[in-house]
Amino acid sequence: MVTCRECEYEINQATEICPHCGADLTSLSEESTTPAKKPTLGKILLRWGMVLGVLLAAMWSFLWFVVTPRTGNVTAEAEANAVAAIHDVYAQLRSYADARGGAYPSDLEQLGLQVRQAAQLAQSDGYQLEYTPSPAEGDGAIHNYSLEARAGNYGYRSFYVDISGVVRATKENRGATSADPPIH
């Protein structure tokens, strides 16, 4: 139930005219018909300033996350990391062969954590390390291999090393081979 604004008797809420006093209940009261104050210029400027501040902060945070600062030569850093990874794996292969009488492993998994970390470093810069052992010889041991760091990014050099320890590179869109020139 609702009470009438004029006589304060309880009436049905769907009633448009009070049955007790005859007051028109459809018209708005005087309090609600008074116009609201217009906001002052200071309030308007404050609201716009807050909206613009939030938008600028959102755009800045988006750009801060998306656009990473690139300092130096990114290609040279990636290639240097790939060569360092090849040197790390080569050193592990040499120590494995020295301990096993000149026999190399059938895959890089046997060399452990340091080789896995070197491969992950190369992969983080867009390189894929590929170890290719030669077929086993008469004694059942592998005595030769090749190790490639293939570039996944166009314009990066690919690298190659074998048991000689000479790292070779090519800028062509293919894997490096023993016929490519050595790096200095």
What is the structure's pLDDT at 162? 93
CA gap 162, 171 in Å, rounded = 19
Assess whether 104 and 164 both reside in one domain.
Answer: yes
Q: Is residue 70 in a domain? A: no
Q: Please, are residues 89 and 119 in contact by the beta-carbon 8 Å criterion?
A: yes
3-state secondary structure of 170: strand
Q: Is residue 143 in a domain? A: yes
Assess whether 80 and 159 both reside in one domain.
Answer: yes
More confident residue, 31 or 168: 168
Q: Is residue 46 in a domain? A: no
Q: What is the mean pLDDT of residues 32-38?
A: 72
Q: Is 91 exposed, middle or buried (0-12, 13-18, 19+ CB in 10 A)?
A: middle
Instruction: Give 33's pLDDT tier (boundaries 50, 70, 90).
Output: low
Q: Please, are residues 167 and 153 in contact by the beta-carbon 8 Å criterion?
A: no
For 130, the domain range is 75-170
Q: Tell me the average pLDDT of the chain.
A: 88
What is the structure's pLDDT at 81? 92
User: Which stretches within the chain are classed as H helix?
Assistant: 30-33, 41-66, 74-99, 113-124
Assess whether 83 and 163 both reside in one domain.
Answer: yes
What is the structure's pLDDT at 82? 94
Assess whether 79 and 159 both reside in one domain.
Answer: yes
Q: What is the mean pLDDT of residues 7-28?
A: 83
Assess whether 88 and 152 both reside in one domain.
Answer: yes
The tens digit of pLDDT for each residue in 101-157 reads 989 999 988 888 999 999 999 999 899 999 999 998 888 899 999 999 999 888 899
On the question of pLDDT at 36 being above 80, the answer is no
Alpha-carbon torsion angle 84, 116, 167, 130, nearest 10: -140
Domain total of the chain: 2
| pTM for the whole structure | 0.60
